[in-house]
Structure 1
Amino acid sequence: MTLRATIVVPTYRRPDLLDRCLQALTALDFDPAEGEIVVADDAGSEETRTQVEGWARRSAIPIRYATPASAHGPAAARNAGWRAGQGGIVAFTDDDCIPDPRWLAEGVAAIEAGADAASGRVVVPLPERPTDYERDAAGLARAEFVTASCFVRRDVLESVGGFDERYAQAWREDSDLQFALLERGCRIDRASRAVVVHPVRPAPWGISLRQQRKSLFNALLYKKFPDRYRRQIRASPPWDYYATIGAMATAAAAAYSGSPRIALAAAAIWAALTVRFCARRLRHAATDPRHVLEMAVTSALIPPLSVFWRLYGAFKFRVLFL
């Protein structure tokens, strides 16, 4: 029997968050006989399997466990999840989200009204003066199509092959699916009443440095959909980063070759660009000493790291991408 909907929740060793998400999903305003939940465990963890089986025993809506066969990452986990399900409509959310009771019903209604896919709404609660990381995470609330809250017909997912599993991190795999659907002429509607709350988790000091690795996946998205990338991502090359690196390299080369005036001038330009970048990140943000120190240190390191990963992505995916 084909169910109306399959909910896919990818997870990776986050039992507390998964419990919170499943608590919300098992309380949805939706006939449990018409749906199911598939938890796609990218870690293949016995602890997570046991956790999911415990939820399945006490839930009215069926809950099943799945894990990717070979590839890893959120894209591979989501593919394993929807392929293990039976619902004619596949609803995606994440283990760190809290779906509203009407989330699934509103998303399913948008598809059954004629859409091939639908984008729900993501609410990201923020303090009055958020950290740089919290403000960055809040970008989910402005995104056109994100897997924290989206819905796709199963046959449409099959026609595009699901998610591209080369996206090994949670970055751009949702835009890739959106662009693939649009290239096929699919209709994507907005289901604004299909709401999930996405609280921002505490992050370790210097998290922005680790996040720079995501830049390599911009190159993959650009290679596959150059026109849509230019129009919809609207991300020009980070010329300020290149200028910062150029000033830093010039200062080092001039100092090494015995040209102190040039070295000082280039170092001054590097310092000015770094201070401007740091000030921009701190504008209307948290100003406690720990956060200010983090912004100062990471603002000096982000430009070279970001450019490295962008160029690595261009090399890895064989595309001219600055």
Structure 2
Amino acid sequence: MPDRVRTSGTPTVSVVINTLDRATELAQTLRALRRIRYAGEFEVVVVNGPSTDGTAALLEEWGEDLVLGSVDVRNLSVSRNAGIRLAAGEIVAFLDDDAIPEPEWLTELVAAYDSPAVGAAGGFVLDHTGHAFQYTYGSVDRFGVAETHLEAPCPERCYPASWKIPHLMGTNASYRRTALEEIGGYDEFYEYFLDESDVQVRLADAGYLIAQTSRARVHHHFAPSHVRNAARVPRDRYPILKNKLYFALRHANDFVSIDEILRMFHAYVDHHREDVRWQVEHGNLVEADRARLEADAQRATEDGLRGALSTTGPAPTDVSRHRDELRAFDTLSRQDPRCFVLVSQEFPPESFGGIGTYTRDLASGLAAAGHDVHVLTRSADFDRVDWDDGVWVHRLVVADEERPADAGSVPAHIWAWSRACLAEVARIDDVTPVDLVEAPLWDAQGIALVRDGRWPVVVALQTSLAVWLESHESLATDEEWMAGFGRPVLAAEKEVLERSAAVRGISRAIVETVAALHGLDLGGRSQVTALGVGAPRLLDAERHVARVEREAGRVNVLFVGRLEERKAPDVLLRAFAKAWEREPSLALHVVGDDTIVWPAHGTTLRQWYETELGDDPSARAVRFLGSVSEHQLALAYGNSDVFVAPSRYESFGLVFVEAMMRGLPVVGTDVGGVPEVVRDGVDGLLVPADDVDALADALVRLGQDAALRSRFGANGADHYAAEFTAEAMADRTERFYDHVLTARAPLR
């Protein structure tokens, strides 16, 4: 064995991605690599197989950022060897084209090369849920039988001629490049399956150590491919069977007889027969796949025997012709990255109310600044972690349960959600230390976190239950409801406010209102950081037919919000009837959940309207659109002329920002935080709350004056660009978080 040289503390690394017909997944993987934090330099090598989708165009967009290669066969080993020859790094790290590495992935991988004897290193692989492990510590024997969830690494098994060795999964495996050159790269007889195992057995037989680390983690989305369908069932089992026999004959022949190898192989074929039968019965394969398996098994047996028992054996591949100069990959590097966790029960695309919308934009902005950002939100199906362009979105299933003893008086469903968030923050912290958690005051979502006390918790102060009850007198005076829910939640709100590290108010009005209602002096722990909205996402107009349509001579008025008392849609409908009588060009489109029952009269707003005003001539100009998709909401904004939201109270009024961003003049009420967002007579018109006549006058004025609509709309768009972009919100919030974490008083 030649002399082996220890790598430097930060050796250069070539990250090799072998891709085939996965342009969408590959784009995500490449964007994730921008967020890698590594003290040394690394490059990204992409070897494209005979792809027929948009992979070539995607790689052209990335241009000089990548080292590009290609192969014209569907053979992963051929593609891997091409990647090795293109690699200039001392370490070659392989990453699948449907995998997302965590930011510290390379740092943790390289740390395992602490001895010149280490020839390979790999880490853990999370499955498509991001919650369960597809692979942890593993081993493989000379029959190619793998164990994937050992309790600990097994370096004691790594020596020449060991029957069982430590094993790394191919989507998270790295190698010392000189070691790969020494053993002759990948055996190209393996088009896929056991290709990685073969390399690792040969490395062990050459005297190298294979290191396993729990902290170098990738998330494997396990996308469909030409070898498996969407149900993750193999389509073509010929390579699997052929390579199983070939592998055993190549590596077990000196340990057991050929008869024993063949008995193992025939049992393995029987296992596949049973699996195909089951998959056919459950609709994942079709009946013709049974006959195909038998033909594949016959051909695999012949080809596996022929390949393994040939007199010459496989010729080592020359992978020594590597590039000399590394092409460093640019990352979103910063000196002081933090790990922030944002809690929000609602989050797009499942729900995109005010809290969900701004949480998405805040998370994206903080991630764009180079921080690790995790969002905790609810899931309707199963626990999973999605990676969305820089943000880790943890979707959690939380079942209602009996209130445990540690909840105190907190309602069971509120405590269950907060406890689930506490457990998930702890899980994140185990890998990446969490610096700060933010949670909305609504539903006291941070209650378990502030009681736990391990991390500083910032309370995001929007509308609270205390504020909400001001406009819901029927519930505020319902003693049974208040005793069972209202007062316990009010107490939880106050506890969260008192025990949090800081309070982030979205307007001066909401800070002052909540402090007064709870009898608190928030003092220097609070700061106002106005919200912002990200630029509208591009839509494929051909796939979405607008439900709000333009018509010559018509002025479309749009309302967006919850159809509840606080939003005052009842006032709007009465005002619109009066306005339409004076200006029949007006048309009102009402977007929001129209199934909410109003306690005051026991019906939905829509039912109330049909009873009270359904026979009014203006009714033909009113449309209830109900809850709509994000795409439909964007189209509704785009096809409207005036935006209106006559709330009885708004802590901020994010919908006004969304409207101004799109150049719409706005009509609102001079309550809460609205005057801090909308400049009366500049961006739109503000009227007193519950004033039907004043609201009707504002609608008529804008409906009749196109020039005024245009001026207000342009002013609002400028106001948005100057104050309310997502980038501005993220910058304000980042500076506030920094003050919280450095124990300085927040800027006022």
TM-score, normalisation: structure 1:
0.68
Taking only the aligned residue pairs, the percentage that are identical comes to 25
Which residue of 2 is the match for residue 37 of structure 1?
44
- Residues 49 and 243 of structure 1, relative CA distance in 2, 3 Å threshold: closer
Which residue of 1 is the match for residue 78 of structure 2?
76
Instruction: Give distance in 2, aligned partners of 1:64 and 1:140.
Output: 35
Please show how residues 118-267 of structure 1 align to structure 2 within 5 Å.
Answer: 118-125=121-128, 142=149, 144-168=167-191, 170-202=192-224, 203=229, 207-226=233-252, 236-239=264-267
Does the Cα contact within 8 Å between 1:111 and 1:152 map onto a contact in 2?
no
Deviations 1:236-293 (A, max 9, x none): 223385699xxxxxxxxxxxxxxxxxxxxxxxxxxxxx7xx369957xxxxxxx9713
Instruction: Give distance in 2, aligned partners of 1:95 and 1:228.
Output: 36
Does the Cα contact within 8 Å between 2:276 and 2:290 map onto a contact in 1?
no
Identify the range of structure 1 (139-148 vs 184-193) with the bigger mean alpha-carbon deviation: 139-148
How far did 1:81 drift? 1.2
How far did 1:34 drift? 0.8
How far did 1:302 drift? 7.0
TM-score, normalisation: structure 2:
0.31
Instruction: Give distance in 1, aligned partners of 2:286 and 2:59.
Output: 43
Where in structure 1 are there 5+ consecutive unaligned residues?
129-138, 245-273, 283-289
Which residue of 2 is the match for residue 51 of structure 1?
58
Which residue of 2 is the match for residue 310 of structure 1?
300
How far did 1:308 drift? 1.8
Does the Cα contact within 8 Å between 2:19 and 2:48 map onto a contact in 1?
yes
Higher helix share: 1
How far did 1:22 drift? 0.7
Which residue of 1 is the match for residue 23 of structure 2?
15
- Residues 309 and 140 of structure 1, relative CA distance in 2, 3 Å threshold: farther
Letter in 1 for 2:28: R
Deviations 1:207-252 (A, max 9, x none): 535234321112322232125897xx9x9223385699xxxxxxxx
- Name the SS for the 1:236 alignment partner: helix
Which residue of 1 is the match for residue 475 of structure 2?
none
Work out which of the two has the higher radius of gyration on C-alpha atoms and give 1 or 2.
2
Q: Relative contact order (alpha carbons < 8 A, sep ≥ 6): 1 or 2 greater?
A: 1
Instruction: Give distance in 1, aligned partners of 2:45 and 2:104.
Output: 19
Deviations 1:288-310 (A, max 9, x none): xx971346847854762453243
Letter in 2 for 1:312: E
The yes-or-no answer on 1:292 pairing with 2:292 is no
Does the Cα contact within 8 Å between 1:39 and 1:66 map onto a contact in 2?
yes
Where in structure 2 are there 5+ consecutive unaligned residues?
1-9, 132-145, 150-165, 311-748
- Name the SS for the 1:116 alignment partner: strand
- Name the SS for the 1:111 alignment partner: coil
- Name the SS for the 1:7 alignment partner: strand
Letter in 1 for 2:112: A
Does the Cα contact within 8 Å between 1:122 and 1:140 map onto a contact in 2?
no
Which residue, 96, 115, 127 being the options, matches 1:94?
Answer: 96
Instruction: Give distance in 1, aligned partners of 2:169 and 2:94.
Output: 9
Does the Cα contact within 8 Å between 1:124 and 1:141 map onto a contact in 2?
no
Instruction: Give distance in 2, aligned partners of 1:296 and 1:50.
Output: 35
How far did 1:48 drift? 3.5
